[in-house]
């Protein structure tokens, strides 16, 4: 295949206009809603998964932290559906773009930190200087803790971007190898194709796990500041 390895990560355009916004708005349209009193099995399963996920993330929060439950559930659904749609052939995955992941991570992290400074400023400032720190080490520890706090949203975004991008690249390479070997050696092609199927299953799991990890870390940052 002569296609550029990183061509699938280029933001698509329609008539010269960026189509990323339309792609980002598309996943919510796939989530079914019910207008009837009795739901079908799909809606019931969807509601059960949402309740299970929200219960897992919200049990450690107090009343103030639980006000974020709708935002966190919406976040995990959006990231999961976006990651899964990106596994379709010839599709674009917005979560492979570091700029988009930073745009999700920074406001959520900043909101949690600002809430912490407004409600528990003494506890928030105490994180910068652990109790019992020797006096000569105080300036260095304050700088280190400040850097570790500021790097949290970057770590969130880079983790999601790296995991999704690495999986897509690996699938692209193995798919290219399968196509190249199909005219050379059939048994080897079957083996590589089996590996590709197993990798696809793994990537489906990674897409869901990374959505959960991203949201769980935001939830932990919120818990530390409420």
Task: Write the pLDDT tens digit of every residue in 89-108.
Answer: 777 788 888 888 898 899 99
Alpha helix (H) ranges present in the chain?
Answer: 20-25, 41-58, 69-85, 98-119, 121-126, 138-150, 152-181, 186-224
CA–CA distance, 13 with 180 (Å, rounded to integer): 30
Cα dihedral value 217, 110, 95, 98, nearest 10:
-120
Calculate the alpha carbon distances from 107 to 93, 115, 183 in Å: 21, 12, 51
Domain range for 183: 1-225
Higher-confidence residue of 98 and 34: namely 98
Per-residue model confidence (pLDDT) at position 158: 92
If you search the block for the tokens 């339309």, which residue do you land on? 22
Chain-wide mean pLDDT for the chain? 81
Per-residue model confidence (pLDDT) at position 1: 45
The structural domain count of the chain equals 1
- 173: its two tokens: 């390479």
pLDDT 10s digits, 42-58: 778 878 888 888 887 77
- Which of the residue ranges 48-57, 177-186, 200-209 has the most confident prediction, judged by mean pLDDT? 200-209
pLDDT 10s digits, 14-25: 666 666 677 777
User: By C-alpha distance, which of 222, 226, 181, 212 is closest to 84?
Assistant: 212
- Name residues whose C-beta falls within 8 Å of residue 172's C-beta, 6 or more positions apart in sequence: 5, 8
- Name residues whose C-beta falls within 8 Å of residue 69's C-beta, 6 or more positions apart in sequence: 54, 57, 58
pLDDT 10s digits, 124-180: 777 777 677 777 777 887 788 888 888 989 999 999 999 988 888 888 888 888 888
Residue 38 predicted with pLDDT over 60: yes
Question: Phi/psi of residue 59, each to 5°?
Answer: -65, -30
pTM: 0.78
- Name residues whose C-beta falls within 8 Å of residue 124's C-beta, 6 or more positions apart in sequence: 113, 116, 117, 225
Residue 220 predicted with pLDDT over 80: yes
């Amino acid at each position: 295949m002569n296609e550029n390895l990183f061509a699938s990560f280029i933001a698509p355009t329609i008539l010269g206009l960026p189509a990323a916004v339309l792609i980002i708005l598309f996943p919510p349209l796939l989530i079914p809603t019910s207008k009837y009193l009795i739901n079908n099995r799909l809606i019931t399963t969807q509601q059960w998964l949402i309740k299970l996920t929200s219960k897992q993330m919200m049990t450690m929060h107090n009343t103030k932290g639980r006000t974020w439950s709708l935002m966190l559930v919406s976040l995990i659904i959006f990231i999961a559906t976006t990651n899964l749609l990106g596994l379709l052939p010839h599709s674009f995955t917005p979560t492979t773009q570091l700029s988009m992941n930073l745009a999700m991570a920074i406001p959520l992290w900043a909101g949690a930190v600002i809430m912490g400074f407004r409600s528990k400023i003494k506890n928030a400032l105490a994180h910068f200087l652990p109790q019992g720190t020797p006096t000569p080490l105080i300036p260095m520890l304050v700088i280190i803790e400040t850097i570790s706090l500021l790097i949290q949203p970057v770590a969130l975004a880079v983790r999601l971007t790296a995991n999704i991008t690495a999986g897509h690249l690996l699938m692209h390479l193995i798919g290219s190898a399968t196509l190249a070997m199909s005219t050379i050696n059939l048994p080897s092609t079957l083996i590589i194709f089996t590996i590709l199927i197993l990798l696809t299953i793994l990537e489906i799991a990674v897409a869901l796990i990374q959505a959960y990890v991203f949201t769980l870390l935001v939830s932990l940052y919120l818990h530390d500041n409420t």
